[in-house]
Chain A
Amino acid sequence: MSTISTDTHQHAGPHDADHGHHHPPAGFKRWFYTTNHKDIGTLYLLFALTMFFIGGLMAMVIRAELFQPGLQLVQPDFFNQMTTVHGLIMVFGAVMPAFTGLANWLIPMMIGAPDMALPRMNNWSFWILPFAFAILLMSLFMEGGGPGFGWTFYAPLSTKYSGDSTALFVFSVHIMGISSIMGAINVIVTIFNLRAPGMTWMKMPLFVWTWLITAFLLIAVMPVLAGTVTMVLTDKYFGTSFFDAAGGGDPVLFQHIFWFFGHPEVYIMILPAFGIVSSIVPTFSRKPLFGYASMVYATSSIALLSFLVWAHHMFTTGMPVFAELFFMYCTMLIAVPTGVKVFNWVATMWRGALTFEVPMMFAIAFIVLFTIGGFSGLMLAITPADFQYHDTYFVVAHFHYVLVTGAIFSIIAAAYYWLPKWTGHMYDETLGQWHFWCSLISVNLLFFPMHFVGLAGMPRRIPDYALQFADFNALISIGGFAFGLSQLLFLWVIVKCINGGKPATNQVWEGAEGLEWQLTSPPPYHSFTTPPDVK
């Protein structure tokens, strides 16, 4: 399959001297040895899509079991493995690689660079990922089963009360971490060193800014995750007592160290989404992004604040009041820069000339639904109320709103937005609209009632529940199956688009701004080998 045109004879930009005699190898060799940012971007995106379906399958198992009270399909032990691996796959296998794929494809083109700064490390960053996930998925087939302690793997459940799949889990997470760190380093060096002359910091597209900040967050906290899983490994197998009271340790220490990584991690999973929405909304409003500078500052403040709020995941652990208050106030504060961003998007739309192609539909849905997720987040920040929300489906509703209708919708929007550029074909707009509406309705049927069952008292991570939760759970499960099926439409759109469709112009979208829209659709295998002029 070739998503990239190797036709080097059509370019609108300045004549590139050396790309006439280079054709990439074909087949397995091309993809396995590639150092090309477009190829690697494609690999990441296809990998993320595959993992999205695998993680989605696990969600279907979960929702099938939760369709009715009673245990029908799976045993509680296996159910815990499904929730654990579903979470790990979606976080580390779908969302993060998808954003990295977008970074790879777009950042060099957006800043006028020929490729990422460290192309060979780029290849490694990708290829260790399938290896890591193969290990994780294989652990499900071990005797004793796979990891069943939640993606948050609290000690001592994960240390003294787990099976040997924990070792594979740790190994797998280490590899994922290395991949992310290498990717982040690559992004930073690329943006720092390879911007075309004239592409000053405050001229960079917001997608580049948000990824730059995300990359710094990644190198700050992924190593802490590596430390955390290492401590779990040594507590389990090498006699340390980091988290064991008998040896002078403290299980709550685990939670502090984990969430020190964990909270910035969720911002890692949303900042690039903000960048995507900030690219799409101005295009379809035919109006510049409102408040570019404050968007940059808001993103930076969110990143900085994200280091100060980790214990809002731990309000019930028995912290003293002054600590609870500190974390409550800091968490509430994050709502301010986040709100600023939402207002700026709406202000961008205000008095624009809007059209509603599929990328714009997903972007608008993002703004509304992510904000709903933000509201439930604000409610969760209020410590006394959190005592009633913590570890219930209210939290599950919150993070699925920000991650599915937030991050995932932004990734889907990005796919629709840039597929014409990447493939040279327009996607099928009708099919895309069907995908949008089916997804929108089913995703809300799936996640909105979770607020209710959570408030009504249903805890998280349980395979069976009391009768008063039955009706809503049935609805939720139906929404889940519908949402899963709707994504097959997305798959169809992508396959169809790669294989053909109305030829795309360079500009593709009437209101699109940015260097990538100066290139052909599809762009040359090596683009901007000579830096463009930036006005």
Chain B
Amino acid sequence: MANTMYHRCSLLALLCVDSAIAAEMPLNMTRGVTEISQKVYDLHMTIFYICCAIGLVVFGAMFWSILHHRKAKGVQPAQFHESTKVELLWTAIPVVILVLMAIPATRTLIAMEDTSKSEVTVLVTGSQWKWHYKYLEYPVEYYSLLATPAKQIQNKLRKNENYLLEVDRPLVIPTGKKVRFLMTSDDVIHSWWVPAFAVKKDANPGFINEAWTQVDQPGTYRGQCAELCGKDHGFMPIVVVAKTPEDFDSWIRAEGERLAKLKAAEQELLSMQMSMTDAMAMGEKVYQGYCAACHQPTGTGLPGVFPALKGSKMATETGRKSEHIQIVLNGKAGTAMQAFGKQLSLQEIAAVITYERNAWDNNTGDLVQAADIQAAKNGQKE
């Protein structure tokens, strides 16, 4: 009895709240910032209202029955138990309602799946546990990783406003233009989702999927991976910054230059040697940012799940230095160990391996240089 009352009250409450306000409270789907997201929101609310109406009628009838058709009131039970007419009626009416729902749904779906005539295309690649963005029309590509500090996740620091929804390098797109996304994955199935665009598409390894959006207002829009992809599925968010076409053009030009400079610098660095002090300093920074989450800041790992680096044979025996380099570069198939070869620069990889081989009493004295990493990438044995 009380459950129907409760149900009706909450439904009424929701109905009374003006749609615009309802969209702002964290109770409802977002209207989003695109024409499609608005259509999706409208569809969602329409179906919801229809369900509420049906619920009110059906539960209303039941509630009435509970109040008035009780034995305690001394009523005699009727004995009717079938009526073909009524059955047909309450079969036909739902069918009609469903058809009415299906029409706008079909229209919206067809609009959503039409990726033609786009102006910017971005290849979105998911991997454990980050996104990679590559602009097909511009020489810009980069990884996008969770930027929330581990200390906040471990409850050692206060969580900031965009906790778990912030990245180091967001995707940048122009407003007012149709942007096409090509999704794929480097390992398991991920899913790229930005609620404000109503875009969600699985990233399947070895295949590409398409989606599109056209954002009208500049702004920052946040989403998350929407397909269980392993340990850090909840820690690979998506941030998209929509800029006016002018701002986008200057950004992409600057980005292209920055990446070109980095590439040139890396080739220069190959001939340079890093000192042990510098390598340890850089290595510790990289370790804390990329490795400590699993292998722990103390290098002790998690027994049975993430191997310890402190005292591990691989990190202490000189003969296994190339194996150590290989694992960091290429990951280990079938485990949570990712391939960092494309994420980190040669220098960073050299530094972090140096750190791992000397910190926590490992003390091998090994100093790995960027050139060694380059050589390992090329399969040359030293």
Contact = CB atoms under 8 A, between A and B. Distances in A.
Q: Please tell me whether chains A and B touch each other in their complex, using a CB distance cut-off of 8 A.
A: yes
A435 B87 CA distance: 36
Interface in B65-104: 65-66, 69-72, 75-83, 86-87, 90-91, 94-95, 98, 101-102
Nearest to B108: A384
Interface string A437-450: 10010001000100
Interface stretch (A181-189, A375-383, A426-434): A375-383
B319 interface: no
Contacts of B72: 355
B332 to A, nearest CB: 10
A387 B199 contact: yes
Nearest to A448: B10
A392 B207 contact: no
A142 to B, nearest CB: 8
A76 B154 CA distance: 12
A74 to B, nearest CB: 11
B43 interface: yes
A15 interface: no
Contacts of B69: 285, 349-354
Contacts of A144: 304-305
B231 A156 contact: no
A143 to B, nearest CB: 4
Given A316-B226, A343-B58, A352-B65, A77 B71 contact: no
A52 B82 CA distance: 38
B224 A294 contact: no
A33 interface: no
Interface in A277-322: 285-294, 316-318, 320-321
Given A291-B82, A325-B109, A385-B40, A157 B229 contact: yes
B62 A387 contact: no
B61 A287 contact: no
Central interface residue in A339, A340, A384, by most chain B CB within 10 Å: A384
Contacts of A437: 2
B interface, over-half SS: mixed
Contacts of A353: 69-71, 75-77
Interface string A355-399: 110000000110111011001001100111101101110000000
A9 B77 CA distance: 36
B230 A157 contact: yes
Nearest to A340: B91
B253 interface: no
Nearest to B190: A157
Interface in B137-188: 152-155, 159, 161-165, 183, 187-188
Interface stretch (A20-28, A41-49, A459-467, A525-533): A459-467
A288 B83 CA distance: 13
A329 B55 contact: no
Contact of A384 (B66, B109, B159, B231): B109
B26 A468 contact: yes
Interface residues of A, number: 107
A379 B195 contact: no
A482 to B, nearest CB: 15
B317 to A, nearest CB: 22
Contacts of B44: 379, 382, 385, 388
Contacts of B278: none
A224 B1 CA distance: 42
A303 to B, nearest CB: 17
Interface string B294-315: 0000000010110000000000
Given A390-B200, A455-B27, A467-B163, A245 B153 contact: no
B20 interface: no
Contacts of B161: 467
B272 interface: no
A121 interface: no
Interface in A179-233: none
A371 B58 contact: yes
Contacts of A80: 228, 230-231, 233
Interface string B90-133: 11001100100110011011101100000000000000100000
Contact of B79 (A246, A287, A465): A287
A287 B78 contact: yes
B314 to A, nearest CB: 17
A447 B206 CA distance: 37
Contacts of A348: 81
Contacts of B220: none
A495 to B, nearest CB: 27
B189 interface: yes
Contacts of A244: 206
A71 B27 CA distance: 25
Which of B62, B76, B113, B161 has the most chain A CB atoms inside 10 A of its CB? B62
A340 B54 CA distance: 13
Contacts of B234: 76, 459, 461-465
B249 interface: no
B291 interface: no
B305 A252 contact: no
Contacts of B40: 384-385, 387-388
Tell me which of A250, A354, A465 has the highest count of chain B C-beta atoms within 10 A of its own C-beta.
A354
B188 A161 contact: yes
A335 interface: yes
Nearest to B209: A318
Contacts of B198: 384, 387-388
A350 B152 contact: no
Interface in B1-50: 1-4, 6-7, 10, 26-30, 39-40, 43-44, 47-48
Contacts of B336: 77, 161
B227 interface: yes
Given A157-B229, A160-B334, A316-B226, A384 B39 contact: yes
Contacts of A76: 231-235
B110 A321 contact: yes
A398 B55 CA distance: 16
B177 to A, nearest CB: 21
Contacts of B54: 375
Contact of B226 (A75, A351, A392): A392
B75 to A, nearest CB: 5
A465 B70 CA distance: 47
Nearest to B128: A161
Interface centre among B3, B187, B210, B225 (most CB of A within 10 A): B3
Contact of B51 (A69, A354, A375, A464): A375
Nearest to B306: A77
Contacts of A364: 1, 3, 62, 66
B191 interface: yes
Max count, chain A CB within 10 A of own CB: residue among B108, B163, B335:
B163
* 3 smallest beta-carbon distances between A and B, as pairs: A245-B206, A462-B234, A318-B209
15 contacts: A71-B153, A77-B231, A144-B304, A157-B230, A251-B206, A286-B77, A324-B109, A328-B102, A364-B66, A384-B39, A387-B198, A388-B40, A437-B2, A457-B195, A459-B226
